[in-house]
């Protein structure tokens, strides 16, 4: 009987350890399909300049306008500060930008704040009234589907009412029905951060490959192996990595593809 109780307790403990470290364990067993690169492989603007014998610092091109949002504001679906800085820096050298998934508009606002005055930013998103157009498909992760509903809550954005608003065109539409033909070969920078279900990531990515102009960059957010809500993003990117050269940027959840000249 004692042996049985000890065995039972060991099993319960192992199960608890697994539950508490599920993300780390999954990440440990994750088989890497795409290469992680240094940020400066994405663009020369990120190469540091030497300031002193033992001091390296940012070039002028990556000095950006920024703001942070306090956690108490409970804004959902945001990038990290480091990721926001990368996107802001790339915006400085982009004239046509497209974003899948506006949410609070934090990244859209940063793009508008940092891009040249004549840059146009198009961002597509859902508001609660549009949610009836979204259906869970066979391969779609349940948590990612639930997040679409939780994140489609805004119809005013952080940039609303600011002088930057006129650079931004918000499309309230399900990206599954977006007609990408009118946008073919148009964009310098595309940020894919809309629905994280397999069907939507696949749709947004396939459209982006057509919408990207030569030498343009696509960025995907939330490439986090082991994170349940990012499972479909990781799965899709891994699946197409044999056909498209996609890289993961070190210390971020961003992946990129460059439409090389």
Ligand X SMILES: C[S@@+](CC[C@H](N)C(=O)[O-])C[C@H]1O[C@@H](n2cnc3c(N)ncnc32)[C@H](O)[C@@H]1O
Residues at the site binding ligand X, with contacts judged by CB under 6 A: 77-79, 99, 101-104, 106-107, 124-126, 134, 148, 151-152, 174-176, 193-195, 200
- Shortest separation between residue 69's beta carbon and ligand X, angstroms: 9
- Alpha-carbon torsion 206, 211, 217, 223, what sign? negative
**β-strand partners of 36:** 248
- Shortest separation between residue 210's beta carbon and ligand X, angstroms: 17
Residue (194 or 225) nearer to ligand X, CB: 194
Residue (88 or 102) nearer to ligand X, CB: 102
Strands (E), 28-184: 36-37, 49-52, 55-57, 96-100, 120-125, 168-172
Distance CA 145, CA 152 (A): 11
Which 8-state DSSP code applies to residue 249?
E
Torsion of CA 210, 216, 220, 225, to 10 degrees: 110
Residue (12 or 71) nearer to ligand X, CB: 71
- Shortest separation between residue 151's beta carbon and ligand X, angstroms: 4
Residue (86 or 126) nearer to ligand X, CB: 126
CB 61 within 8 A of CB 40: no
CB 101 within 8 A of CB 193: yes
Distance CA 74, CA 148 (A): 16
The structure tokens listed for 176 are 């599954």
For residue 165, count other CB atoms closer than 10 A to its CB: 16
Residue (78 or 121) nearer to ligand X, CB: 78
- Shortest separation between residue 91's beta carbon and ligand X, angstroms: 12
The structure tokens listed for 60 are 């002028």
Residue (137 or 184) nearer to ligand X, CB: 137
- Shortest separation between residue 125's beta carbon and ligand X, angstroms: 4
CB 58 within 8 A of CB 85: no
- Shortest separation between residue 21's beta carbon and ligand X, angstroms: 25
Residue (195 or 225) nearer to ligand X, CB: 195
- Shortest separation between residue 89's beta carbon and ligand X, angstroms: 15
């Amino acid at each position: 009987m004692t042996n049985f109780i000890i065995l039972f307790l060991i099993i319960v403990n192992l199960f608890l350890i697994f539950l508490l470290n599920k993300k780390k364990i999954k990440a440990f067993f994750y088989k890497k399909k795409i290469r992680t690169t240094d940020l400066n492989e994405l663009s020369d603007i990120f190469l540091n300049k030497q300031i002193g014998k033992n001091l390296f610092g940012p070039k002028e091109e990556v000095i950006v306008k920024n703001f942070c949002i306090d956690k108490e504001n409970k804004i959902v679906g945001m990038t990290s500060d480091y990721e926001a800085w990368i996107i802001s820096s790339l915006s400085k050298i982009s004239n046509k930008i497209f974003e899948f998934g506006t949410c609070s508009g934090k990244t859209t606002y940063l793009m508008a704040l940092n891009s040249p005055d004549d840059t146009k930013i198009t961002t597509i998103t859902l508001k609660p009234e549009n949610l009836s157009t979204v259906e869970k498909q066979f391969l779609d992760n349940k948590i990612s589907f639930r997040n679409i509903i939780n994140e489609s809550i805004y119809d005013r954005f952080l940039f609303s009412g600011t002088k930057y608003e006129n650079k931004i065109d918000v499309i309230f539409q399900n990206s599954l029905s977006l007609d990408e033909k009118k946008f073919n070969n148009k964009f310098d920078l595309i940020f894919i951060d809309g629905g994280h279900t397999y069907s939507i990531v696949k749709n947004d990515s396939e459209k982006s490959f057509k919408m990207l102009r030569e030498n343009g960059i696509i960025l995907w957010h939330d490439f986090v192996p082991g994170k349940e809500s990012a499972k479909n993003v990781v799965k899709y990117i891994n699946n197409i990595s044999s056909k498209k050269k996609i890289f993961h940027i070190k210390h971020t959840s961003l992946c990129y593809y460059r439409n090389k000249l």
